[in-house]
Amino acid sequence: MAESEQAVLIMVTAGGRDDAERLGEGLVAERLAGCCSIVPMVYSFYYEDGQLKREHEALLLVKTLKPQVAAAVEYISSHHSYDVPEILEVAFDGGSPPYLKWLAEQVSKPASDR
């Protein structure tokens, strides 16, 4: 599979559903993602300043292609409310060919062609 066709999932936690929606809509509007989905509530555990934290967050699932990952991560980083947002990239070896074709079509269109 050529890099230009490599489907990628970027997982991002956000402070809540509204934050995740704002990020996801911006990524799709800018054609940096073909689709974004939100899991409205996840429960996260982590250490911060030596204290165990427990937080309700939203999980944003960003579906894009490998060539758009750097720009998508930059967009997320610059628009995220966290100082150090969780941004994880997962590449796929395959998937539904019709969906992957649709995804490639979505991220290859200019943002003005919505």
- Per-residue pLDDT at 114: 47
In CATH, 3-108 is 3.40.50.2300: no
Fill in the amino acid letter for 73.
V
- Per-residue pLDDT at 53: 94
Considering only residues 28 and 109, tell me which one the structure prediction assigns the higher pLDDT: 28
- At residue 2 the predicted structure's pLDDT band, cuts being 50, 70 and 90, is low
What is the rounded distance in angstroms from the CA atom of residue 17 to the CA atom of residue 43? 13
User: Could you read off the pLDDT of 18-52 as tens digits, one per residue?
Assistant: 999 999 999 999 999 999 999 999 999 999 999 99
What is the rounded distance in angstroms from the CA atom of residue 54 to the CA atom of residue 44? 6
Number of H helices, E strands in the chain: 3, 4
Domain boundaries, the chain: 3-108
Mapped onto helix, strand or coil, the DSSP state of residue 67 is: helix
| Average pLDDT across the chain, whole number | 92
